[in-house]
Amino acid sequence: MATTDFCEACKTNEINVVEASDDPNQPYKLCNSCHERLVKYSLRPIEWYNLAVVHSPNKFSLHDDFYEENGEACQPEEDIVVTKKDKAPTLRNVRDNLESLLDFSITRWFLEDDVINALKKHDIERL
């Protein structure tokens, strides 16, 4: 039985494009729609978030010249429709789940006190 790899951004469509990133060993693996939005700096917040978890928000295509820390596009080259399901998680959404909290912390430009305090509430050995 073959396994299907899904787009790193939307996590629903199959991968159609492997796009080079700042790190040649870690390209973006995207469906056609997400690839188009990536190159147009028009990712939906959850797509930006999912990519930032894997690649970090410091990669050129994801960094703060183009996106806010909540994944909102600053300079989109096409209109973006964002529904409730397209929003990136907030600290409130993830603070009780260590794995989700760690993913969230990876997407921050800087670890601020609220995220550090949320991390401190988890078991140090698990952390």
Assess whether pLDDT exceeds 60 at residue 57: yes
Residue found by looking up tokens 């998680």 in the block? 89
pLDDT of 35 reads 98
pTM of the model: 0.92
pLDDT of 1 reads 44
Residues facing residue 73 across a β-bridge: 67
pLDDT of 87 reads 97
Three-state secondary structure call for residue 67: strand
Query: Could you report the per-residue pLDDT of 68-97, keeping only the tens digit for each?
Result: 999 999 999 999 999 999 999 999 999 999
Comparing C-alpha atoms, which of 5, 125, 103 is closest to residue 46? 103
Mean pLDDT within 59-64? 93
8-14 LR contacts (CB < 8 Å, sep 24+):
8/34, 8/50, 8/51, 8/54, 8/55, 9/34, 9/37, 9/38, 9/43, 9/47, 9/48, 9/50, 9/51, 10/34, 10/46, 10/47, 10/50, 11/50
High-pLDDT (> 70) share of the chain, %: 97
Residues facing residue 14 across a β-bridge: 6
High-pLDDT (> 90) share of the chain, %: 89
